[in-house]
Chains A and B, each alone.
Chain A
């Protein structure tokens, strides 16, 4: 068990290193950063001085090591646009995105999994067909378009919910949260629904596919032959059999939702990191891009690691002293 965790941790570390190298090469080595740092009309002296100051005259690997060393100290540089330390900038925006993402993914799981299990349990029923049709829509319709429709319907026409912003927030440990005020929740509802739509479709389909297969399995047939009630079969057998893919998707989708928040935050003017990255991409604010990518990679790798540990908890076949 300990060995297993250790191997996974080491793997995560290696992956993180590889990611940092990729991000470094991707963002820093493409194009000439000096052109971004200074205007074209500065004198040659200042130009050389700047190059030396930022270490741009060093070989690439040395630049990378310097970059790595700074990151380890939590120094991601300063944003060209906002003029403040990037880490501070991102951390101030992160809670908004986390809140949105959590609301979306949990909402999607709470509705999608039961709906999917039902559709898989009675695949030929009318309700199942309705659920599947909706899920195909959710799967197909681009997130940004749903956002537009939600705004038109609920903000413009019905005027039930606000079209953008975070609304009133409450500070806990000097971090602002929306979900604690009624006004905040009303602001959260539309963007979360927008972000959840795709995840909802995905989880419904996954739960349905798993349930359908499980219902045809000998395990379920045998349980029925032993006289177990349908409810017990679903709750005790089917749910356990489909748990692993669901946990995997829950974890991975949480991470990818963090990235997808880019679209939703743009549409609903939600002041999270997604909005920040789009702005920094359009203004080529490289330090922000790097920090954002590193952060998302880190979250991804951590979630992968946790999902992997969850496997061991869920699947008894993997539990034997960590030997796989």
Chain B
């Protein structure tokens, strides 16, 4: 490396972004994620109708195809659902609930899993062996089954479902964090600060944790996408959110019964929104995965 490259500070994050930007697909996917996040947050402002305001509901407008001009001259660009709600608005609100579930459950799983994984790697010995055994045991069990049984046992509700999703997913974070932290712990720079010596909490927070982040970010993107898909699946199966929280999965489920009668839009459009979101998140995650895989670096 020449002196020229020292001309200005390049933080690892700036370098990461410069590399990320090279993939146009990934940048487009990121834009989609940010956009969807934006419309989800500001759904009440963006949506043409508040679909859950009973004053807006006109039963004669129910199950109308896309483009139908409803009561009050309003055009339902994606049609209406079984209750006569504007589907486009319902999708925006559904997106909001789906994203909320995915992000909260994902964050919770991240915090619990990473604490356990890095903690185990740092502590070592029998405590490490015990924690990782439990995690491995859980990983051998499919997440969907765990979430299914937990949400059935805990009952329906937002909090219960978040708990079930997080419980089904934290183990992936724990395994990844443990693997990364074990690798970092064996590296010279950690041995150097251990020999300085620095206090243990400082070594973990300042040295080990930041360097475990790249693989964890990959897992986080995948798991948020998975949490959203899982929530949709559970809601579709009728053991997810209560009817008062119409997520995208619930919208799809509601439309399922009209599908065979040709009113495909009630189910298909929320599905497309869901897939767009998950595909975009996964594309971003995929790019980051390729970037952080040292074995593909030449």
Given a CB threshold of 8 Å, the question of whether A touches B is answered with: yes
Q: Which B residue sits closest to A252, measured CB to CB?
A: B140
Which of A15, A144, A216 is the one whose CB lies under 8 Å from B295? A216
In the bound complex, CA of A30 to CA of B149 (Å) = 12
B286: chain A residues at CB < 8 Å are: 136
CB A7 to nearest CB in B, in angstroms, measures: 14
CA distance A297 to B236 in the complex (A): 25
**Is the C-beta of B95 less than 8 angstroms from some C-beta in chain A?**
no
Give the residue name and chain of the A residue nearest to B228 (CB): A142
- Count, A-B residue pairs, CB within 8 A: 106
Of B142, B252, B267, B296, chain A has the most CB atoms within 10 Å of the CB of B142
Known: A213-B295, A252-B140, A293-B149. A156 touches B236 (CB 8 A): no
Q: How many residues of A contact B (CB 8 A)?
A: 45
Q: Which residue of chain A has the shortest Cβ distance to B153 in the bound complex?
A: A30
Q: Does B141 contact A (CB under 8 A)?
A: yes
Q: In whole angstroms, what is the CA distance A171 to B154 when docked?
A: 41
Which B residues touch A216, using CB under 8 A? 295-296, 298
The main secondary structure of chain B at its interface with chain A is helix
> Could you tell me the distance in whole angstroms from the C-beta of B227 to the nearest C-beta in chain A?
12
| Nearest residue, chain B, Cβ from A277 | B148
- How many angstroms between the C-alpha atoms of A143 and B256 in the bound complex? 14
A151-B259, A281-B148 known; A139 vs B282 contact (CB < 8 Å)? yes
Please give the number of chain B residues whose Cβ is less than 8 angstroms from any Cβ of chain A in the complex: 37
20 contacts between A and B (CB under 8 A): A15-B137, A19-B137, A26-B153, A30-B153, A137-B275, A140-B278, A140-B281, A142-B236, A145-B271, A148-B252, A149-B271, A252-B140, A255-B142, A260-B142, A262-B144, A262-B145, A282-B238, A289-B149, A296-B145, A300-B140
Give A residues with C-beta under 8 Å from B. Answer: 15, 18-19, 26-27, 30-31, 136-137, 139-145, 148-149, 151-152, 156, 163, 212-213, 216, 252, 255-256, 259-260, 262-263, 266, 277-278, 281-282, 284, 289, 293, 296-297, 300-301, 304
10 further contact pairs, Cβ within 8 A, besides A156-B259, A255-B140: A15-B137, A142-B236, A142-B278, A144-B233, A148-B252, A212-B296, A216-B296, A259-B142, A260-B144, A281-B148
